[in-house]
C-alpha cells in the first residue's frame, strides 16, 4: 500500500458522523430472532431472485421456487459477509495512515457498523440456513497491478462503494416486502438505513481520489473506467451461484446459470440494479462510455 | 461438437477484445487475459466443459497460466482416465 503517493483526504463528514452517533443501536439485542421461519414464505423477494422474469422461473415447481428464495437469501447474505470482510480489512489497514487521518473518525463508525452488519447476516444464515456459502475463489494475481498507486487506492474505495450500492438496491426493496418473514425484512431495513450513510461517504471519498488520479495522469481515467465496468459485471454474476441452484434441487446448475445470466429479462434487471451506480460513475467522468 | 479447448479460447478472446489470438503459450495471468474478475466465470466454464467440480483448494495459479497448461491440467487428465 503506497499511501505516500496519496494526498491527504479532507471531507466534510460532520453530518454523517452526527447521524452515526445519534442513530447508534445495539444490534445484539435489537432483533427478535424467531426459532424458525414459516417454510411457506419466501426468504428473498421473488422478483429479486436470479431467475425472475424468465421461463426458467416459471418452469420450477412452487417448492423449488420457495427453495430458491431460501438459498439465494443465504447466498445474498453470504456475499454481504464476504464483501464486508474484504472491505473491513482494507479500511482497517488505512485508518490511521496519513492520507486518511482527517476521515478516521468516520472510518471508526464505518468499521464498527460493518462488523455489526456481518454479525446479523451471519446469524440469519447460520440460524435458518445452517451455513454460509464460501467466498468466491480468486486468483492470487491481482487484477489492478497495472494501475498507479493512487488509482489502486481509488479502486479499493470504488469496490466498497459499488458493493454497497448493489446490496442496497436489494435491501431497499426487501425492507418493505410484506411477503417476507419479519426478521428478513428487518435485517434488510436496518442495513439499508446504515448503508445510506456509507454510500454518501463512499461517493465523497471516491470523488476525491478520482480527482487525484485525473490530476496525476488523465490518461489513466479510462483504464479505471474499464476496470470498474468489469467489476460491476463481476459483482452481478456473484449473485448467480450454481450451489444455490443445486441446493434448491434444480438440475444442471452451471448451464442454467449461463442461460440465466444471458437472458434478456435478466440483462434488463442487471441494468436496473446498476442504474444508479452507472449514472454516478458517468457523472463523475469515469463511466463506461469511456471504454473503447 | 465444438472442441472444449476451442470454447476456452473463445471465452478468453470474448473477454479481451484487444487480443487477436490466444497462442498456446501466451501467459494468461501476466497478460491479464484472465484476471481475478474473470476467474470465477472461467472456473465455472471449465467445470461445465469437464463435467466435474473443481475444488479451488486443489488448483494453483500455474494451472491457468497458458492454454497448454489448462489443457494438460483439466482435459488431458480426464481423457487419460
Q: Residues A73-110: pLDDT tens digits?
A: 999 999 999 999 999 999 999 999 999 999 999 999 99
Q: CA-nearest residue of chain B to A255?
A: B48
- Whether A139 sits inside 8 A of B43 (CB atoms) is no
The confidence score (pLDDT) of residue B58 equals 86
CB contact under 8 A, B64 and A139: yes
pLDDT at B35: 87
Residue numbers of B between 12 and 41 with CB closer than 8 Å to A: 17-18, 29-30, 32, 34-41
Domains of chain B, CATH where assigned: 4-80 (1.10.1200.10)
Give the length of chain B. 81
What is the predicted pLDDT for the residue at A142? 65
**What is chain A's mean pLDDT, rounded?**
94
Contact B64 A234 (CB under 8 A): no
The shortest C-alpha distance from B81 to chain A (Å) reads: 23
Q: Which residues on B lie below 8 Å from A238 (Cβ)?
A: 40
Could you give the C-alpha distances from A136 to A81, A82, A194, in angstroms and in order?
Answer: 12, 9, 25
Interatomic CA distance for residues A250 and A22, integer angstroms: 46
Select the more confidently predicted residue: B80 or A13: A13
B47 touches chain A (CB under 8 A): yes
Residue with cell 474505495: A157
Are B39 and A242 in contact (CB < 8 Å)? no
The count of residues in chain A is 292
- Closest A-chain CA to B51: A254
What ranges in chain A are assigned the alpha helix state H? 14-22, 27-30, 55-58, 62-94, 104-124, 149-174, 182-216, 220-238, 242-247, 253-262, 264-284
Give the per-residue pLDDT at A139.
72
Residue A126 has pLDDT above 60, yes or no: yes
Chain A residues interacting with chain B (CB cutoff of 8 angstroms): 136-143, 145-146, 230-231, 233-234, 237-238, 242, 254-255, 257-258, 292
Determine whether the interchain pair B43/A140 forms a contact, defined as Cβ–Cβ distance below 8 Å: no
Q: What rounded mean pLDDT belongs to chain B? A: 88
- Domain edges within chain A: 11-23+54-133+145-290
Facing A137 at nearest CB: one of B17, B29, B56: B56
For the segment(s) A11-23+54-133+145-290, the CATH number from 3.30.497.10, 3.30.1360.20, 1.10.3720.10, 1.10.620.20 is: 1.10.620.20
Average of per-residue pLDDT across A251-279: 97
A205-263: per-residue pLDDT in tens? 999 999 999 999 999 999 999 999 999 999 999 999 999 999 999 999 999 999 999 99
Do A60 and A51 form a contact (C-beta atoms < 8 A)?
yes
- Picking from A82, A84, A92, A93, the residue whose alpha carbon sits closest to that of residue A115 is A84
First vs last Cα of chain A: how many Å apart?
Answer: 29
In whole angstroms, how far apart are CA A174 and each of A45, A47, A116? 6, 10, 19
B60 pLDDT higher than 90: no
List, in order, residues 6 or more apart from A65 with CB less than 8 Å away: A42, A46, A49, A57
CA distances (Å), origin A107, targets A91, A93, A115, A164, A208: 7, 11, 12, 15, 16
pLDDT tens digits along A152-194: 999 999 999 999 999 999 999 999 999 999 999 999 999 999 9
Q: Is any Cβ of chain A less than 8 angstroms from the Cβ of B75? A: no
| pLDDT score of B47 more than 60 | yes
Task: Compute the Cα dihedral for A173, A176, A181, A184 and give only its sign.
Answer: positive
The confidence score (pLDDT) of residue A101 equals: 95
What confidence score (pLDDT) does residue B81 get? Answer: 46
The fraction of chain A above a pLDDT of 90, given in percent, is 89
- Contact by Cβ (8 Å): A225, A287: yes
Inter-chain touch A254–B34, beta carbons under 8 Å = no
> Do A231 and B41 lie within an 8 Å CB cutoff?
no
Query: CA of A78: how far to CAs of A88, A125, A269, in Å?
Result: 15, 7, 21
Q: Do A137 and B41 touch (CB under 8 A)?
A: no
Mutate to test the interface with B, among A137, A147, A235 (most CBs of B within 10 A): A137
- A146 has a pLDDT exceeding 90: no
Neighbours of A44 (CB within 10 A): 27
pLDDT of residue A216: 95
In the structure, what pLDDT confidence band is assigned to residue A136 with cuts at 50, 70 and 90? confident
Residue A140 has pLDDT above 80, yes or no: no
Q: What is the pLDDT of residue B1?
A: 60
Q: Is the dihedral of CA A233, A198, A194, A112 positive or negative?
A: positive
> Distance between CA B11 and CA B27 in Å, rounded?
15
Amino acid at each position: 500500500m503506497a499511501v505516500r503517493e496519496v494526498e491527504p483526504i479532507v471531507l466534510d463528514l460532520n453530518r454523517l458522523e452526527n447521524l452515526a452517533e445519534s442513530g447508534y443501536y445495539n444490534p445484539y439485542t435489537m432483533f427478535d430472532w424467531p426459532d424458525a421461519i414459516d417454510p411457506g414464505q419466501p426468504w428473498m423477494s421473488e422478483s429479486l431472485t436470479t431467475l425472475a422474469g424468465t421461463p426458467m422461473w416459471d418452469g420450477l415447481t412452487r417448492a423449488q421456487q420457495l427453495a430458491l428464495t431460501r438459498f439465494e437469501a443465504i447466498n445474498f447474505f453470504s456475499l454481504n459477509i464476504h464483501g464486508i470482510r474484504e472491505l473491513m480489512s482494507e479500511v482497517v489497514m488505512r485508518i490511521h495512515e496519513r492520507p486518511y487521518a482527517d476521515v478516521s473518525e468516520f472510518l471508526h463508525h464505518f468499521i464498527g457498523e460493518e462488523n455489526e452488519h456481518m454479525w446479523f447476516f451471519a446469524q440469519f444464515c447460520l440460524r435458518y440456513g445452517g451455513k454460509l456459502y464460501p467466498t468466491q475463489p480468486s486468483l492470487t494475481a491481482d487484477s489492478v497491478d497495472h494501475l498507479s498507486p493512487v488509482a489502486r487506492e481509488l479502486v479499493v474505495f470504488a469496490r466498497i462503494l459499488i458493493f454497497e450500492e448493489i446490496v442496497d438496491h436489494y435491501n431497499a426493496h426487501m425492507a418493505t416486502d410484506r411477503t417476507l418473514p419479519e426478521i428478513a425484512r428487518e435485517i434488510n431495513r436496518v442495513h439499508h438505513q446504515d448503508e445510506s450513510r456509507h454510500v454518501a461517504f463512499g461517493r465523497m471519498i471516491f470523488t476525491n481520489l478520482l480527482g487525484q488520479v485525473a490530476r496525476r495522469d488523465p490518461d489513466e481515467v479510462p483504464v479505471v473506467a474499464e476496470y470498474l465496468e468489469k467489476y460491476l459485471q463481476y459483482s452481478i454474476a456473484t449473485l448467480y451461484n450454481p450451489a444455490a441452484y443445486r441446493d434448491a434441487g434444480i438440475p444442471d446448475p452451471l448451464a442454467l446459470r449461463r442461460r440465466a445470466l444471458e437472458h434478456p429479462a435478466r440483462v434488463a434487471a442487471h441494468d436496473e440494479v446498476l442504474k444508479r451506480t452507472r449514472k454516478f460513475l458517468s457523472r463523475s467522468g469515469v463511466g463506461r462510455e469511456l471504454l473503447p | 461438437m465444438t472442441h472444449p479447448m476451442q470454447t476456452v479460447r473463445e471465452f478468453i478472446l470474448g473477454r479481451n477484445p484487444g487480443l487477436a489470438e490466444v497462442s498456446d503459450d501466451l501467459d494468461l495471468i501476466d497478460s491479464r487475459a484472465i484476471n481475478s474478475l474473470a476467474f470465477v466465470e472461467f472456473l465455472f466454464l471449465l467445470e461445465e466443459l469437464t463435467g466435474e467440480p473443481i475444488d479451488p483448494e486443489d488448483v494453483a495459479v500455474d494451472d491457468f497460466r497458458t492454454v497448454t497448461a489448462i489443457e494438460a491440467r483439466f482435459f488431458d487428465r480426464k481423457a487419460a482416465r
